[in-house]
Structure 1
Amino acid sequence: MSDKVRPYLYYDVALALCSRCLRKVEGKILFADGRVILEKRCPEHGRERVLVADDVEYYKRSREVFIKPPEQPNHNQTPIRYGCPYDCGLCPDHEQHSCLALIEVTDACNLKCPVCYAESGPHRPDFRPLELIERMMDALVASETQPDVVQISGGEPTLHPHFFEILEAARARPIKHLMVNTNGLKIAEDREFVRRMAEHKQNFEIYLQFDSFRREALMELRGADLRRIRRKALEHLNEFGISTTLVVTLKKGLNDDEVGEIIRFALEQPCVRGVTFQPVQAAGRLEDFDPATDRLTLTEVRRAIYEQSGVFRAEDVVPVPCHPDCLAMAYALKLGGRVLPLTGMIDPQILIEGGSNTIVFEQDPGLRQALFRAFSTNHSPESGAASLRELLCCLPTVQVPDGFGYANVFRVLVVQFMDAYSMDIRSVKKSCIHIVHPDGRLIPFDTYNLFYRDGREQHWKPRLADPWAERGRLPLLQTHGGVA
């Protein structure tokens, strides 16, 4: 090779952030040694190289094949003034509505997790008033008409003194699917509380932290050995038949070797509908984070799913079309002790054209119609065959039992949130997981933690509004993982 040939392939230009001062900087996407690298340079803080993915072909496929036409909210809450990511609200330049929206009802928590992006804990005993929470719900409904998935979050939402009134308020609105994001302590310790929750279990799901089977990993991620708590919580959720997703925060070298074990365990739990894996985001309390060596990428988690689980193949774990850079999914059917992977049999075009929310595609009528076309030879959506049992009757190797329904669906998601190191403005514009700000704005999860949480705007927006300020430069922040 000539010494004039650079040791990488140049793929694309990128608009990124300096992880130290959070100004927008130019960068480029490079392919080198089978890895995808974001290289960027800040005029003040120099060059950064960040690992984005370790599978070049999957990365290219997610950008070139799984391209879904943008779906807009009913209206935008903020104008374009400073440019992405400084106008979140959503602004008119955003390219995706809210597939999943979080409503944080409290900053209080009965844990103080070292990886908490919200920096919640016992030291923040504040609960948002029910009236404010309802206004936040109304703002989301105004934007979405019928929100697909709403997640009641925190802090620890089950501590809220008006928890059940919050559930009732959500039920009074046209929300298709409601989730509660919880560490499980209340569920494990209070059976009567779980019984009351079961009264709301139609189109309802518990999003339960479940990071590891090992004490040392739980101590590092959560600051407490929660093994007994997790098992007791699942015992109660199984008893009352409340649909549950296990949510696993993954840290490289700590618990990423447990991916397959957790999937197999989840398949044994009658109440569990799936597992969501979330690589650690460099936000909140996370310290001593090296983006070149410590980052666990979506492609590494995807590989762990099909190499460790014994259930899924590589072709079963595919990009989610609404935000393929940061979301991957695998769906399966649980049928009489067998597990049948499903996504590998679906043409990508069906996922792209089929419906508005492929995060929970079993809920989406448009995609259900597309699945009829894909799998059925003697039914159509108009024929009245409305269940997956009827849909799958034409697969000769599948014996679908009577009473087949949502309890037979099993999904695995990989959700990788961007941080100050990996932020790619092109990708931020497609973010479909949003947090409802108390003032009613819908803000992408990725940018909320950097720029909008806990009043951070008051520190940097005046600088952008000052015409004499250095263009695009934010005040220097003392950061760990890019967060003040």
Structure 2
Amino acid sequence: MTVTESLCPVCLARLPARREIVGEDGWLVRTCPQHGEFRSRFWHGPPGLAGWERPKTPRLGSTPAGTAPGEGCPFVCGLCPEHTQRTCTVVFEITGRCNLGCPVCFADAGTGFAADPTLAAVETRLMRARRAAGPANLQLSGGEPTLRTDLPEIVALAKKAGFPFVQLNTNGLALAADPALAGRLAGAGLDSVFLQCDGVSDAVHVALRGRSLAREKRAAIDACAAANLGVVLVATLVPGVNDGEVGALIRLAATLAPAVRGVHFQPAAHFGRYPGNGANAPRLTLPEVMAALEGQTEGMVRAADLHPPCCEHSLCSFSATYRVAPGGRLTLAGGGGCCDKSAIPAEEGARQSMAFVARQWGAAKAAPAGEQIKDDFDRFLAAAAAAPSLSISAMAFMDAWTLDLERARGCCIHVAAPDDRLIPFCLYNLTAADGTALYRRKTCA
């Protein structure tokens, strides 16, 4: 048993909590004096929790200027002095508008959001976010960012502000409709596209996004490949809807490498617009995703290949990197990705993670060829390019039923709120059982 803290899913009161291990399952347990006991399973199946932990030496800093007064973590994000990890990725929302009405949407996009910030306001906020976060990676998000006609200018402003790696989070519809857009974004400095892609069949897209989208996803990938933009396919996993297509999505990505640089799975969490009661609705845990990957790829991807993160809390994600052989066969890359299971200082873990993401998720680099090959290192680079790499990863977001404040304090993915505070992603999107938000729509411009 491990002692931690959590919130009541009904009233969002902070409560003492514990992690209980029952066999190979992990449960988060706490009791609200008003609303009773809550038991939420956050880990189900092998590998067991005991062998999964990757300890980190915490990074404790001073209170940033944007931190609000209040009752302590998690009510004073900005980040507060209790936070143990620096910012690895800044999520920067540039619009609340969207051209889809997805039944599953973490941001609840397209419903009652304020007008888009002006280009001047975006520039100011980017500069402030860069000063607060340091040289972190940046993800431009929304809503659907491509609805802004000034998106290339925003990408250029992000680079000007000093963000070394800039990624676009998009559904890809605009990239498919206007292939030249990818070139304009690449010319402005965009490095990577985080492309919403929940599976290979139109049935999956209809269920999760409301319409057939398989053709548009492929067209968006082709446009990015032509513009030399790295692509990461991002699947929101809902039990019984698309958890049976994880293997097919890996095979598709392998056939599209090196244009596709990774596949990232996000089991749906109960916030935003995801329907259902988080106490009773089925949810996928990281071990179940690992098992699905192994079973559906017939062991080409093994659960044993996948390792805990070097940046965020061990219970939040897994990843591994593979070489793609001709025919789409995957073999585990030497070193197993960006990090192993040994202990690491939090600051160093963040540095490794940011470097790995920039290297792996950006466009594939041209390798030396012909007369350019002068030594063994050049030959190594040429051989590596002949077998491009593909990262496979997953992140388990926390909702009001699974929120573990130890994990939240180790978060490295921070939303740049309109009032310039940096707020951990899960806390920013967290909603109570009745839809009351902890942060989203409560931060002011």
Q: How does 1:336-347 map to 2 (within 5 A)?
A: 339-342=330-333, 343-344=335-336, 347=340
How many Å apart are 1:289 and its aligned residue?
Answer: 3.0
Between 1:151-160 and 1:12-21, the stretch displaced more is 12-21
Q: Judging changes above 3 Å, is the alpha-carbon distance between structure 1 residues 117 and 356 closer, same or farther for their aligned structure 2 residues?
A: closer
How many Å apart are 1:122 and its aligned residue?
Answer: 7.5
Q: Which amino acid aligns with 1:146?
A: P
Q: 2:87 aligns with which of 92, 98, 114?
A: 98
How many Å apart are 1:213 and its aligned residue?
Answer: 2.1
8 Å Cα contact 2:310-2:353 kept in structure 1 = no
8 Å Cα contact 2:159-2:189 kept in structure 1 = no
Q: 1:289 aligns with which of 272, 277, 298?
A: 277
8 Å Cα contact 2:310-2:349 kept in structure 1 = no
How many Å apart are 1:364 and its aligned residue?
Answer: 7.7
8 Å Cα contact 1:111-1:122 kept in structure 2 = no
Between 1:130-139 and 1:44-53, the stretch displaced more is 130-139
How many Å apart are 1:15 and its aligned residue?
Answer: 1.3
8 Å Cα contact 2:153-2:188 kept in structure 1 = no
1:169 corresponds to: 157
Q: Which amino acid aligns with 1:340?
A: T
1:417 corresponds to: 397
How many Å apart are 1:215 and its aligned residue?
Answer: 3.0
CA deviations over 1:46-70 (Å, ceiling 9, x no partner): 111111101365423343xx11223
1:265 aligns with 2:252: yes
2:365 corresponds to: none
Q: 2:208 aligns with which of 210, 216, 221?
A: 221
Any stretches of 5+ residues in structure 1 without a counterpart? Answer: 1-10, 366-388, 394-398, 458-484
Q: 2:167 aligns with which of 179, 185, 194?
A: 179
How many Å apart are 1:199 and its aligned residue?
Answer: 1.9
What count of residue pairs does the alignment treat as equivalent?
414
Q: Judging changes above 3 Å, is the alpha-carbon distance between structure 1 residues 242 and 19 closer, same or farther for their aligned structure 2 residues?
A: same
Q: Which amino acid aligns with 2:138?
A: V
Q: 2:102 aligns with which of 113, 118, 143?
A: 113
Q: Distance in 2 between matches of 1:195 and 1:421?
A: 42
1:326 corresponds to: 316
How many Å apart are 1:220 and its aligned residue?
Answer: 2.3
Q: Distance in 1 between matches of 2:410 and 2:387?
A: 31
8 Å Cα contact 1:357-1:364 kept in structure 2 = no
Q: Distance in 2 between matches of 1:363 and 1:156?
A: 22
CA deviations over 1:363-384 (Å, ceiling 9, x no partner): 689xxxxxxxxxxxxxxxxxxx
How many Å apart are 1:290 and its aligned residue?
Answer: 4.2
8 Å Cα contact 2:165-2:358 kept in structure 1 = no
Q: Distance in 2 between matches of 1:80 and 1:405?
A: 52
Q: Distance in 2 between matches of 1:456 and 1:175?
A: 23
Q: Judging changes above 3 Å, is the alpha-carbon distance between structure 1 residues 38 and 347 closer, same or farther for their aligned structure 2 residues?
A: closer
CA deviations over 1:91-126 (Å, ceiling 9, x no partner): 111111111110000000000111112111287583
The alignment's TM-score, normalised by the length of structure 1, stands at: 0.78
1:371 corresponds to: none
Q: Which amino acid aligns with 2:27?
A: I
CA deviations over 1:182-239 (Å, ceiling 9, x no partner): 001000101221221232466x000000002233322221112211211221222223
8 Å Cα contact 1:335-1:401 kept in structure 2 = no
Q: Distance in 1 between matches of 2:224 and 2:4?
A: 45
CA deviations over 1:291-345 (Å, ceiling 9, x no partner): 3451111221122223323432222111102221111111123355653313548
For residue 150 of structure 1, give the secondary structure of its aligned residue in structure 2. strand
Bigger Rg, structure 1 or 2:
1
1:138 aligns with 2:127: yes
Q: Judging changes above 3 Å, is the alpha-carbon distance between structure 1 residues 82 and 126 closer, same or farther for their aligned structure 2 residues?
A: same
For residue 414 of structure 1, give the secondary structure of its aligned residue in structure 2. strand
Q: Judging changes above 3 Å, is the alpha-carbon distance between structure 1 residues 288 and 363 closer, same or farther for their aligned structure 2 residues?
A: closer
How many Å apart are 1:446 and its aligned residue?
Answer: 0.7
How many Å apart are 1:406 and its aligned residue?
Answer: 11
The alignment's TM-score, normalised by the length of structure 2, stands at: 0.85
1:28 corresponds to: 18
Q: Distance in 2 between matches of 1:132 and 1:289?
A: 38
8 Å Cα contact 1:274-1:411 kept in structure 2 = yes
8 Å Cα contact 1:101-1:436 kept in structure 2 = yes
CA deviations over 1:115-144 (Å, ceiling 9, x no partner): 112111287583221122222211221123
Q: Distance in 2 between matches of 1:314 and 1:279?
A: 17
CA deviations over 1:18-77 (Å, ceiling 9, x no partner): 1111111223222224311112211111111111101365423343xx112234678623
Q: Judging changes above 3 Å, is the alpha-carbon distance between structure 1 residues 24 and 124 closer, same or farther for their aligned structure 2 residues?
A: closer
Q: Which amino acid aligns with 2:410?
A: K
Between 1:299-308 and 1:193-202, the stretch displaced more is 193-202
Q: Which amino acid aligns with 1:223?
A: G
Q: Distance in 2 between matches of 1:132 and 1:221?
A: 33
CA deviations over 1:239-266 (Å, ceiling 9, x no partner): 3332100000000121111111111110
For residue 96 of structure 2, give the secondary structure of its aligned residue in structure 1. coil
8 Å Cα contact 1:326-1:417 kept in structure 2 = yes
